[in-house]
Every structure is written in C-alpha cells, then in structure tokens.
Amino acid sequence: MNAPQVVSDLIRRTAAELADALAAGETTSVEVTQAHLDRIAAVDGDVHAFLVVDAEGALSQAAAADARRATGQAQSPLDGVPIAVKDVMATKGLPTTCGSRILEGWVPPYDATVVARLRAAGLPILGKTNMDEFAMGSSTEHSAYGPTRNPWDLSRIPGGSGGGSAAALAAYEAPLAIGTDTGGSIRQPGAVTGTVGVKPTYGGVSRYGLVSLANSLDQAGPVTRTVLDAALLHTVIGGHDPKDSTSIDAPLPDLVGAARRGAEGDLSGVRVGVVKELGGEGYQDGVLTRFQESVDLMVAAGAEVVEVSCPNFVHALATYYLILPAEASSNLARFDAMRYGLRVTPDGDPSAEDVMRATREAGFGDEVKRRIILGTYALSSGYYDAYYGQAQKVRTLITRDFEQAFQHADVLVSPTAPTTAFKLGEKVDDPLAMYLNDLATIPANLSGVPGISVPSGLADEDGLPAGVQILAPATADDRVYRVGAALEAALLQKWGGPLLDQARPLVGEVAQRPSRDQGASS
C-alpha cells in the first residue's frame, strides 16, 4: 500500500503530470481515482462541491483505463485521469439535477456529447458538482441542495454558477472538471477560487446534453488548475458535433501547442488591449492592483499594451438580463411534472394544469421564478420589440465593439470579476448586486468570443484570490491559451509556486489517509 504522502502528492499534481505518470506506469488510474475519492470523503463535508459521488463507477472506469494503458491502447492523453462534471450535463445512469428540486432523482437515459467524449477518452467520472439552480447565479447559493463553500475561506462563496466545479479543483477533490459559462459561470468561479477556467468560442464545444439556460449564450468548457490542463481537456471535449446545430464545423486550433508555446514566456509581437470600460468604478482595489501587475508582467514578456474602448459594454449587463430570462423561461417550460422529475399533486381533483402550477411553484427556487417571470414578460406581446428585440440589437453593437477592438489588439484583458469572494448570504436577497459579479464576463457570451480566467494573485485587503480575464476573437481560442500560459508562467515565477499553495489547509488536509467509504455528499 502507498503511504499517505504519496496519496497527497497524487491529488496535488496537475492533470498533465498525472497523464505523464500514467503513461510512464508510475501510478495507476485506480490509485489516482481512489486518492481523489478519499479526498472528497475527507473534505467535501465542508466544501460541498459534489451533489453525487460515483465511487463505484469511477473506480471501474479507472480499472478499464489501467487495462488499456497496460496494453498500450490509451484512448487519449488523459486516459485514466479522473474528472468531475457540473450537474447541468446529462449523464446516463447518474442523477442530473441542475441544482434544482424539480429534477431531484432524475437519471437521464442518455449522455451529453461532452460526457460521451469524456467516456470515449477514458476519463473516470468522479461525480456531479454543485451549481446554482439551472445555472442562475454567481455564488452557488441558489442550489436547492445547499451552497458550496470556497476552499480559501469556508465562510465565503466559491462563485457561480459553477462553484462546485471550481471548488472541487481548489480543494484538490478533482484534477479536472467540466463547467458551463452563460455569463461567466466558468470564469468568475475560477477567479474567486484561484483556479483556471475557459469559456470556449460559442459553438466550439457541443451543447447537446447541456441543460439549457440561455441557448444563445451557453458554452461548456474546462475547469482546471493550470492553463495546460485546460488545453488538454478542451481538446478532448471540443470540436464539431452533428447533434448541435450551432456547433462549429471546423477543426479546433492547436490549443495544447499554444499553451506549451505560451509557457515559454515570450509574448513579443502580441498586442494586448486593456478594455477601458471593464475596470475602475465598482472594482475592488486589490483586484485592480493584481490586474495591473499582470498587465505589467505581460509587457515584461514582450507584449505591446494598448487601451481600447468598447462603449457599448456598459449595456451588456442589461442586454444579458433580457436575453437570458427570455430564453430560460421557454427552456424551463418543459419541467411540468408530466414526463420526468418532481410531481406535486394538490388536494382535491387536480387537473394537469393544476399539477403543473403546483409542481413549478414547489420545484423552482426564488431566483428561477424571478427569471422565468421576467423572461415571460420580455417575450409577451406588446413588449417583445422593446425588450427582447432591442436586446438582440444591442448585442450587435457589442459584437461590433469587439470587432473594432480586435483590430487594435490580438487579445483583450480585464479583471475577471470585480471583487474577490464575498460572504455567504451577503447578496442572496439583492439580485442586482449579485448580477454585478458578471459585469466583465458577460460581453464575451453575448458575442460568442472565447475567454480564459487565470489567477492573478491575492487581493491585498482580504488575501483572497483574484483573476485576470483574457479574451480573443471567435475561433481564436488558441490565443487565450498562449497568452494565458505566458502570464501563468510569469506569475508562478513571481510567487515561487502555484497560488493555491498559499491557501489555508482544509480540515483533514494533514490527516492520515481517510477511509475508503464513499457516498453521496448531499
């Protein structure tokens, strides 16, 4: 048997390192998977990153991966590296709730394309991660199954909606995770947990099997601890899918190559645009300080920095909060107690309509109801042109701003989120304050461009992580990997190691190897 420190080492390795170790035969997928399951058992009671843990399934997939490795038939570079999947992705045979009561106990009879690709590439699925209900939120407090806590400070939020995936990475419960980003749900949790998150170009990763929040904005992507890991995972899940009509029918750029090249640290010839409108008022001082430091490091690496203006970005938040509720109100209509999910039957002799109304009242949380009503309003006759129609036009203006800016810069940069992680409960009853968390991340969703969030360090005033966001033109995802990896390399050198090494130990961190008992953590 391995000694406890070996286990600890396994969970702290990057996915790329684990893949190398598996390829070299230095460890096995079963060992790696078990180490993460043990870690989940030890810390997830506090963190609550997972809604369900599939120990048995993950270990059997790991054993199959080891068998393939043993005969030299690895299905991908990441074959055998375990992964966590946001609960918004349909997983055949594994409950999928989207953080909502209305889907409690629903076990999909099919796999999302992303999940099918993970299985085909041999990645054991550890379980499903917590999220704001139907991905509506920026704190994971809107999960019907209780909030996820930030591993840096358990009294704080891990961001949202994909707080579960980001926290699982930050707490070393998984070496990789899948997130989804409609207005920042991959990038903002990455920023506030000191991890890496990528929102690919819209259409770059299949949405088939991703339970839609806002179809024209949603995009699945990697949640990791390093830029290279994100590139490796993106390569597994990305590319054309005939089941998604909005999927791009073109090969992915060489993302892993771009990340490796970036890590060499040379950004000569790269024009970095600082977006004037994404900073200043409303942004925490410590976040801005870390951002400026990152820009300075990029200059030191040879980049040319220019300031660009995107005047219509100030309308992005309002545009987003018209488009999203409208699409969501229609998407969520299917949760009606007829075919799957919760059914609440009121007293008396209720009709189908009565059952629908009672079920939707009981099954949806406040934020979901708010957005369904808002979307119903925005689409209703007499208001469509003023709201949804107008929002689609402003979307065009925002895209034109991007096109203009990308004439002067190869990538655009900004802080990922305006603040570091706030306290649980602080904004849960103030929707508008909550919405401001996505100020900087939303424009990319409205225009479909790719973006990455890379840790930029700890804010001086609270010692909590902040992130820098790098955006590139549509389909130029390789640029965010190149620049992201260069910045990451410079920062690692400055810090003398990963930012997460500076986090306070979690309960159980230094304990002996935990028991192998597994089970759902919720």
Q: From the list 172, 313, 321, 406, which residue makes contact with another protein (rule: CB under 8 A)? A: 321
Of 16, 492, 486, 20, give the one whose Cα is nearest residue 259. Answer: 486
Q: From the list 15, 43, 81, 112, which residue makes contact with another protein (rule: CB under 8 A)? A: 112
- What kind and span of H or E run contains 135? none
Q: Which stretch binds another protein (CB under 8 A): 72-80, 105-113, 120-128, 154-162?
A: 105-113
Instruction: Find the catalytic residue in 185, 212, 247, 414.
Output: 185
Neighbours of 50 (CB within 10 A): 27
Q: Which stretch binds another protein (CB under 8 A): 71-79, 387-395, 479-487, 495-503?
A: 387-395
Q: Which structure tokens are listed for 297?
A: 């490091």
In the complex with another protein, the residue whose CB is nearer, 173 or 327, is: 327
Q: C-alpha angle with apex 414: 143 to 253, nearest 5 degrees?
A: 85
Q: From the list 235, 437, 447, 469, which residue makes contact with another protein (rule: CB under 8 A)? A: 447
Position 380 contacts another protein (CB under 8 A): yes
In the complex with another protein, the residue whose CB is nearer, 272 or 326, is: 326
In the complex with another protein, the residue whose CB is nearer, 67 or 333, is: 333
Position 355 contacts another protein (CB under 8 A): yes
Q: Which stretch binds another protein (CB under 8 A): 153-161, 170-178, 342-350, 412-420?
A: 342-350
In the complex with another protein, the residue whose CB is nearer, 29 or 97, is: 97
Say which amino acid occupies 51.
L
Position 309 contacts another protein (CB under 8 A): no
Three-state secondary structure call for residue 207: coil
Q: Annotated catalytic, 185? A: yes
Which residues have a Cβ under 8 Å from the Cβ of 186 and sit 6 or more positions away? Answer: 162, 165, 166, 179, 180, 197, 198, 199, 221, 222, 223, 453
Q: Annotated catalytic, 86? A: yes
Instruction: Find the catalytic residue in 29, 86, 138, 521.
Output: 86
Q: From the list 268, 269, 347, 432, which residue makes contact with another protein (rule: CB under 8 A)? A: 432
Say which amino acid occupies 412.
L
d(CA 270, CA 48) in angstroms, rounded, equals 41
Minimum CB distance to another protein, residue 429 (Å): 9
Looking at the DSSP assignment, which residues form a beta bridge with residue 177? Answer: 84, 223
Q: Annotated catalytic, 268? A: no
In the complex with another protein, the residue whose CB is nearer, 391 or 458, is: 391
Position 165 contacts another protein (CB under 8 A): no
In the complex with another protein, the residue whose CB is nearer, 176 or 394, is: 394
d(CA 103, CA 33) in angstroms, rounded, equals 28
Across 473-485, b (16+ Cβ under 10 Å) vs e yields bbbbbbbbbbbbb
Which residues have a Cβ under 8 Å from the Cβ of 101 and sit 6 or more positions away? Answer: 144, 342, 362, 363, 364, 365
Total chain residues near another protein (CB under 8 A): 95
Q: What is the DSSP letter of 71?
A: T
Q: From the list 352, 433, 507, 511, which residue makes contact with another protein (rule: CB under 8 A)? A: 352
d(CA 331, CA 372) in angstroms, rounded, equals 9
In the complex with another protein, the residue whose CB is nearer, 29 or 165, is: 165
Bridging pattern class, strands 271-275 and 196-199: unpaired
Please check whether residue 226 is in contact with residue 250, taking contact to mean a CB–CB distance below 8 angstroms.
no
In the complex with another protein, the residue whose CB is nearer, 15 or 474, is: 474
Binding mask 187-216 for another protein (x = CB under 8 A): --------------xxx---xxxxxx-xxx
Within residues 268-297, the interface with another protein by CB under 8 A covers none
Q: From the list 155, 351, 493, 512, which residue makes contact with another protein (rule: CB under 8 A)? A: 351
Within residues 396-415, the interface with another protein by CB under 8 A covers 396-397, 399
Q: Which stretch binds another protein (CB under 8 A): 42-50, 224-232, 295-303, 318-326?
A: 318-326
How far CA 322 is from CA of 15, 98, 326, 388, 492, in Å, comes to 38, 22, 6, 6, 40
Position 85 contacts another protein (CB under 8 A): no
The dihedral built from the CA positions of residue 402, 405, 406 and 411, taken in this order, carries a sign that is negative
Q: From the list 46, 266, 293, 354, which residue makes contact with another protein (rule: CB under 8 A)? A: 354
The dihedral built from the CA positions of residue 82, 83, 87 and 89, taken in this order, carries a sign that is negative
Within residues 234-273, the interface with another protein by CB under 8 A covers 242-246, 248
Minimum CB distance to another protein, residue 216 (Å): 4
Residues classed as catalytic:
86, 161, 185
